[in-house]
Chains A and B, each alone.
Chain A
Amino acid sequence: MDWIRRFLLIALILFLWGCATNPIDLSKVKTLPKEEAVVFGRVDIIYKNEPTVWGKLSSPGGFYIFVLPGGSSEAFSHMLREDGTFYWHLQPGDYTIAELAWERATSGFWSSGWEKVTGRIFANFKVAEGGSLNYIGTLTIVFEDKGYRYFLRVGDDFDQATKVFSSKFPDIKGEAVKNLMQLEKGP
């Protein structure tokens, strides 16, 4: 009854998805908090050579990124939705998308279940002064080898992203600035 277990797990994820709280999610606030700025961009997950859509029954589990404010030792968790586009409200300063975590169903010859895979991202970005609109780019994470290996790249979809932002948040006016994420050149 592998498919029943899988269906129930996915249904539970979708239910809890709605309950999930995200303290930096712009769509959860009516107006931009004073002295904070807007940050938007996208995390595009390529799995099995296809872009992944999150929050549907067909989605391969739940995918999270952890956003770390500069100088802090406590990060925010952000769960990807739909095509991975995000809109955040953050204080000006330096930030890092530190890690990824992917919770997904597994199935094998002997057993099936649930696994969590994690990995380092360390994409740094800057948020300009309060009231500013900061576009930080598209972080593409390409998974290979059945999803156990990945590589990262940062792309620029500024025109499209600002157009979508304006239609989604018509009350937030201003000229968007481009502050693309920079990937860590790790050891």
Chain B
Amino acid sequence: MRRLIFVLTVGLFGLIACSANYGLIPISPVADRPDYPNLVDSLQPTLEWNPYSGLDVTYDVIIYEGVRVKKPYAFSLEEKQLVSGKVVYYRQGLKEPQHTIEEPLKPNAEYRWEVRARTGDKIMSRTMACNFPVFKTPGSK
């Protein structure tokens, strides 16, 4: 007899529709192709996005370590895909649609980032997961 005991339940909802026309649209830094991040000129780059319109919101910024997946799909020519690893930076309560990272990131590393608009505890909009913008930090000097 199947016994199923849920030991941990997380009400973690993800919004995963893959469209550039929904959610908060990042402006900078972004890349033309999601697996090929552009180099930024600082270890503390400034992130910028289109403001959420209609309500008075604050923004959360999340930066994820970039992780490469080798041959991610059985039926695709993609050799390596960039996905999100650990959260390395998080700020909330930002009032402006831009933010300069307050701590230096690792040099010569790839990152993905996400922005969310919220009123109180409610997330009003966010970057679509498949459209997380990416960037690469410069090497150490």
Contact = CB atoms under 8 A, between A and B. Distances in A.
Interface of A: 12-13, 16-17, 19-21, 62, 64, 66, 68, 72-77, 79, 96, 98-99, 101, 103, 115-120, 137-138, 148-157, 159-160, 180, 182-183, 185-187
Contact of A151 (B4, B11, B74): B11
A187 B90 contact: yes
B94 to A, nearest CB: 13
Contacts, number: 128
Nearest to B2: A160
A116 B12 contact: no
A105 to B, nearest CB: 13
B71 A149 contact: no
A101 B66 CA distance: 16
A186 B72 contact: no
Nearest to A19: B74
B4 A155 contact: yes
A20 B73 CA distance: 8
B75 A13 contact: yes
Interface string B102-141: 0000000010000000000000000001100000000000
22 contacts: A16-B74, A66-B69, A66-B72, A68-B67, A73-B67, A74-B68, A75-B69, A79-B74, A101-B73, A103-B73, A103-B75, A116-B18, A117-B130, A118-B129, A120-B129, A148-B16, A150-B13, A153-B6, A183-B8, A183-B12, A187-B90, A187-B92
B74 A157 contact: no
A98 B8 contact: no
The A interface, classified by DSSP as helix, strand, loop or mixed, is strand
B20 interface: no
Nearest to A20: B74
A74 B16 contact: no
A145 to B, nearest CB: 9
B3 interface: yes
Nearest to B15: A149
Nearest to B92: A187
Contact of A182 (B8, B16, B130): B8
Given A13-B74, A101-B72, A154-B6, 16 more contacts: A13-B75, A20-B74, A62-B73, A66-B69, A75-B69, A98-B67, A99-B84, A116-B18, A120-B14, A120-B129, A149-B14, A149-B16, A151-B12, A155-B6, A156-B5, A187-B90
A138 B84 CA distance: 22
A19 B73 CA distance: 11
